[in-house]
Structure 1
Amino acid sequence: MKYEGMMLTDLDGTFLNANGKISQENIDALDFLGQHKIVRAACTGRTLNSAREVIAYDLPFDYLIFSSGAGICSFKDDYIICRHEIPQKYVLPLADYFLDKKLDFSVHFPIPDNHRFYWFSGAVPTSDLESRLFYLKEFAEKGSIEKLKKLSSTTQFLAISKNGTEIIQEMKQIFPELSVIRTTSPINPEFTWIEVFSKRVSKGHGAAWLCNHLGIKHNHTVSIGNDYNDMEMLEWTNDAYAVSNAPKDILARYKTAPHHNENGFAKAIYEWLSEGNRGEHTHRIITGRVNSGKTGSLAEDFKKQNLPIGNADGFACVKVRTADNIHIGYDLVRLTTAEKCEFIRKIQYLPKNWNEAERLNDNYSFCKEGFDFAKRIFAEAQINDVKHFYIDEVAHLESRGAGFSQLIKDCLNSGMKLTIVVRESLVEVVIKKYKIDKYRIINLNGMAME
């Protein structure tokens, strides 16, 4: 069968209601997707064994992405087509890290047995660990360093903390070769689960791998979720919905579907399949206050969209400082290669042989080589059939038809999905000037619009 698109849905809090049940409306929506030749993939943080406790084989899914993307299997027979593991060399350093933090954590066996695990506890076990050991006692075994030494690899570590955000940020610095994912505890929302996988593991990576494996066009993909471990999946797909029971900061970034107790999954699917919706580009506009992290947000988004490799290209505009930390201007940096080009300088810091193309209020000078550099990136992106292009940033020059004005028009006319950084005060001006009629605004101050 030639597939026309792909749908991915989280299970707990999204496809399942608060009682862990599946409504007939949601099942009917899955059948409807099948009639439209849309691949239906369940995408869950649960292990394969745990997922089968809530989704039976007779449901009309085609694939199951489990353990947050560590494994992918055919839905009807559990035949595993993709798996990822943490190499043994990271097992003891990770265990030492969590032991030093005095956190409860578990170390899960390789797929398909990753429902089995060794457990470790801090001085006083959390209620989350106690609950897991009560319900999963047949799969749990008290861990020790000696037992960990005998593991050839592991699927994941799962740690429990009330201070998850800070620990996750620290771990990303200490273990850059691994994937560290935040999940709200399904047992007690006061706790954060810190899940550690091999580098290429997330729901977004799983979605990208499956899409590429099946030869499905990225602009015919949609996902639905409700929690932080869904965000890479929601960012990767062309269209994305968050059910209304999701945290507010997630709802601010995506289209909102009704509550998971009100068949939000089914209603999102029917909206997506409605005439003129499926397959259309949704351009994205990143905005926010000065120094709110717009360029950093663009760079992080690029990493997610550039899956499979070659799916995205573009450039960021990064600050340039002297050795004594004086801000003197900006350089353009190509996102795919990190190639740099001088672009903007404050008038008092213009270098020799500067080839000025534009000037803004006698404060900043823009060089011709920077604009040529941006044009070359776009031209090569077209040759390479790139689907998603990034421009940083769109400001006063572009609002009056100068600067990157022609580049923006060319990108919009090319069929690429465009993500641009725009000054907060100029968002409405840019939307109207360039006639961007289908877009999502990501406001780093916490607002969002469609």
Structure 2
Amino acid sequence: MIKLVVTDLDGTLLRSDHKFNDEDMVSLCRLGEMGIIRAIATGRSPFSASTVLPDDFPIDYLLFSSGAGIMRWSDKSIIHANQLSQEVVQYVIALLVEMHADFMVHEPIPLNHCFHYHSSGKLNSDFERRISLYKDYSQPLITGVPFPGPASQVLAVLPNDIERFNAISKKLNGVQVIRATSPLDGKSIWLEIFPEGVSKSGGIQWLCSYIGGIHPHNLLALGNDYNDIDMLNLAGEAFVVSNAPSELKDKFQVVPVNDEAGFSHAVKRVLKKG
């Protein structure tokens, strides 16, 4: 019996044109009528999510910033939030500067669309594009002065180089490191740094406890990228859309691409089993 359905947003529920399939909207409404809890788990901040999700979007919860925070969608109240301490933020900044990485330090929730950035000086078009997109909410990081407070996350934008990702990850201690593919150029690696325990699966488990009566085997999860793996491993029914990397498609059930209502196919397949 499925009691909770959680889907990733970009590249999964959201189409390539940043709109939604009518069939998927019908499926979300049907799930609500059946009393099944609906949630989106995304790497986006609440501000970023609001640019594509209208206020009346048919979900119950938004797990944002890869599980760092959870919003009850009906009244947009934040019911759960995590942050990196000032001490940890300073340690991460020093390490990333030493590793010559391009990165952003994001303000605490709910203003975590605002960030301070540091450039290594090397060409990094994905990094520059993200700064341009958030030009009204970003400012250069002054590396010689201690960061003024806690942060929701630190995001390093790397070229498509898994060895560099692994090298930096191995040096980071006492934090949660999550790999994601850039939604901007579709190839750069985003190395996301959160407080220990923060992940999509961690957010889902917190939500299950908050709601009560929901076990991971009651969960249907749908994703498309590396930052969804922990969520998919948690779920009793785990799916990826066909536009996911091959290594994910080899491990989880596969449905059509995000542009062809893959979400609805996953829901229908599981409801048929019931």
Matched residue, 1:165: 162
* TM superposition score normalised by structure 2: 0.95
Q: Secondary structure at the match of 1:15?
A: coil
One-letter amino acid of the counterpart of residue 175, structure 2: L
Given that residues 158 and 165 in structure 2 are in contact (C-alpha distance below 8 angstroms), is that contact kept between their aligned partners in structure 1? no
Give me the whole-angstrom Cα distance separating, in 2, the residues matched to 1:195 and 1:185: 11
Secondary structure of the 2:273 match is: coil
Counterpart residue identity of residue 263, structure 2: F
Q: Report what 1:65 is aligned to.
A: 63
| Structure with the larger strand share | 1
Q: How far is the alpha carbon of 1:21 from its aligned partner?
A: 0.5
After TM superposition, list the pairs within 5 Å mapping 1:88-103 onto structure 2: 88-103=86-101
Matches within 5 A, 1:338-377: none
Preserved contact between residue 156 and residue 195 of structure 1 (Cα < 8 Å): yes
Query: Counterpart of 1:210?
Result: 207
Q: How does 1:292-307 map to 2 (within 5 A)?
A: none
In the TM superposition, what is the alpha-carbon distance from 1:108 to its structure 2 partner? 0.2
Candidates 81, 84, 87, aligned match of 1:83: 81
Kept after mapping to 2: 8 A contact 1:164/1:194: no
Q: Which amino acid aligns with 1:53?
A: T
The aligned amino acid for 1:248 is S
C-alpha distance after superposition, 1:339-378 (max 9, x if no partner): xxxxxxxxxxxxxxxxxxxxxxxxxxxxxxxxxxxxxxxx
Output the CA distance in 2 between the equivalents of 1:193 and 1:141.
19
Counterpart of 1:192, as a letter, is: I
How many pairs does the alignment contain? 273
Deviations 1:162-208 (Å, cap 9, x if unpaired)? 25533443444333321001011111233101000001111111111
Larger Rg: 1 or 2?
Answer: 1
Aligned partners of 2:252, 2:273: CA distance in 1, in Å? 20
Question: 3-state SS of the aligned residue for 2:264?
Answer: helix
1:218 Cα offset (Å)? 2.4
Corresponding residue SS for 1:32: helix
Looking at structure 2, the residues matched to 47 and 28 of structure 1 have their Cα atoms a distance apart, in angstroms, of: 25
Residue type of the alignment partner of 1:154: A
RMSD: 1.6
Question: What is the correspondence of 1:324-339 to structure 2 with a 5 Å cutoff?
Answer: none
Q: Which ranges in structure 1 are unaligned for 5 or more consecutive residues?
A: 277-450
In structure 2, the residue matched to 1:197 is 194
Distance 1:177 1:141 in 2: 27
Equivalent pair of 2:117/2:138 in contact (CA under 8 Å): yes
Instruction: Give the share of equivalent positions with the same residue, in percent.
Output: 36
Per-residue Cα deviation, 1:222-258 (whole angstroms, up to 9, x for no partner): 1000000111111111110000000000111100010
Does 1:261 find its partner at 2:252?
no
Shift of 1:214: 0.9
Which amino acid is 1:180 matched to?
V
Partner of 1:314: none
* Equivalent residue number for residue 104 of structure 1: 102
Which secondary structure does the structure 1 equivalent of 2:10 belong to?
Answer: helix
Matched, 1:149 2:147: yes
1:244 match: 242
Letter paired with 1:6: L
Q: Does 1:186 pair with 2:180?
A: no
C-alpha distance in 2, partners of 1:164/1:35? 45
- Residues 147 and 18 of structure 1: is their aligned pair in 2 closer, same or farther, counting only changes over 3 Å? farther
How far apart, in 2, do the equivalents of 1:224 and 1:71 lie?
19
Query: Conserved in 1, the CA contact under 8 Å of 2:38 and 2:59?
Result: yes
Instruction: Between the two structures, name the one with larger relative contact order (CA 8 Å, sep ≥ 6).
Output: 2
In the aligned structure 1, how far is the partner of 2:91 from the partner of 2:163? 19
Question: CA offset at residue 143 of structure 1?
Answer: 0.9
Q: 2: distance between equivalents of 1:4 and 1:79?
A: 25
Moved more, 89-98 or 39-48: 89-98
* Alpha carbons 1:91, 1:148 under 8 Å: kept: no
Matched with 1:53 is 51
Q: Distance in 2 between matches of 1:121 and 1:257?
A: 39
Q: Is the 8 A contact 1:168 1:181 kept in 2?
A: no
**Code of the aligned partner of 1:66:** F
Per the TM alignment, residue 125 of structure 1 is displaced from its structure 2 partner at its CA by: 4.2
Is contact 1:168–1:180 with CA below 8 Å preserved after alignment?
no
Please name the residue that 2:227 is paired with. Answer: 229
* Equivalent pair of 1:178/1:197 in contact (CA under 8 Å): yes
Cα 1:107/1:239, change in 2 over 3 Å: same
Return the alpha-carbon distance in structure 1 between the equivalents of residues 216 and 232 of structure 2. 13
